[in-house]
A = this chain, B = another copy of it.
Amino acid sequence: MFTLLIHGGSGNISRKTMDEAAEAKHAAVLREALEAGVDILKAGGIALDAVQAAVKVLEDSPLFNAGKGSVYTAAGTHEMDACIMDGRTRDAGAVAGVATVRNPVEAARAVLEHSPHILLTGAAAAQFAADQGVAMVAPEHFFDPFRWQQLQDIIGSDRIELDTPGDEHVPETNQKMGTVGAVARDSNGNLAAATSTGGLTNKKPGRIGDTPITGAGTYAENATCAVSCTGQGEYFMRANVAADIAARMRYGNEPLQEAAKHAIHTTLGGLKGKGGLIALDAQGNFAMPFNTTGMFRGVVSSETEAEVWMFK
């Protein structure tokens, strides 16, 4: 028995912002990510490898705000963050502010496997990953005319555009959204989580959000849950949203689905934060709550075919 969930970001995702052609393109990549992860689980692989493989597919797509599709900082650069966490040990690896790593989730995995640290940042993080054999690319790899235009539209202003945007300042043609992530339970009942993001358009250089922070945007612990978040990162950091689900389960005896719902609607919502998450426990119970218009998401398990959704 195994289960894999993925997300491609939450935000202003509705029929108004996406036509059928755009929907089909996004759905195809989500299905491809599910397939990459579930192939590993079917073959008896570990949850950690499955979440990494699924996130890698999403990073390689220009449609989602991570890896290839990352948005621009206020300096016209890319600063990508990623984290991966192993529910067996609660050990984790994360990178923040990397510009030259082709797949930030692979750099995070290298930190998990080979560093005594959990979170490495900037050029030093990229260098560590390169030393471990992680593929590097020139910054031009991440150039994208749509993302560039997103920056030009707001550069010089104080606006920082969440790529899981609020309704008020989002062009309806904006069909590229969000952080990406995956959580999995393998056939041995082990959990893992991974999250990757390009952050916010027009964010100040050096900003780190919730994605690479264990307990904020990413969490995995066999005894409770695996979680990957998307949304307004600073709110997830202040409320420790991913760890909040684990805490509700551990101390409040809430079942996973209740805990996940309350983490979004009570904990995050209580601070007026916006976003969503995917969460899974070791029994295969799962939840995908969000308080935005929509969230790119999908699920596949040993008992069920792959399914993907994006609207409410």
Please give the residue numbers on chain A whose beta carbons come within 8 Å of chain B beta carbons, in ascending order: 90-92, 96-97, 115-125, 128, 158, 160, 203-209, 213-216, 234, 237-240, 243-244, 247-248, 250-252, 271
Contacts and interface: CB of A to CB of B under 8 A. Distances in A.
Given A92-B238, A124-B207, A250-B251, 16 more contacts: A90-B271, A97-B121, A116-B234, A117-B209, A120-B207, A121-B208, A122-B206, A124-B205, A213-B213, A214-B240, A215-B215, A215-B237, A240-B240, A243-B247, A248-B251, A251-B252
7 contacts: A97-B121, A116-B158, A117-B234, A120-B208, A128-B206, A215-B240, A240-B240
A152 B305 CA distance: 58
A193 to B, nearest CB: 13
Nearest to A125: B206
A125 B250 CA distance: 36
User: How many of these chains are in the complex?
Assistant: 2
Contacts of A203: 117
Contacts of A209: 117, 119
A237 B251 contact: no
Contact of A118 (B92, B238, B240): B238
Contacts of A248: 247, 251
A204 B124 contact: yes
A237 B118 contact: yes
A204 B251 contact: no
Contacts of A158: 116
Nearest to A234: B118
A222 to B, nearest CB: 13
B121 A121 contact: yes
B124 A206 contact: yes
A209 B209 CA distance: 15
Nearest to A259: B251
Nearest to A158: B116
Nearest to A116: B160
Contacts of A240: 214-215, 240, 243
A112 B117 CA distance: 26
A247 B250 CA distance: 9
B206 A120 contact: yes
A91 B239 CA distance: 10
B92 A121 contact: no
A206 B239 contact: no
Contact of A92 (B91, B96, B237, B251): B237
A274 to B, nearest CB: 14
A121 B122 contact: yes
Contacts of A207: 117, 119-121, 124
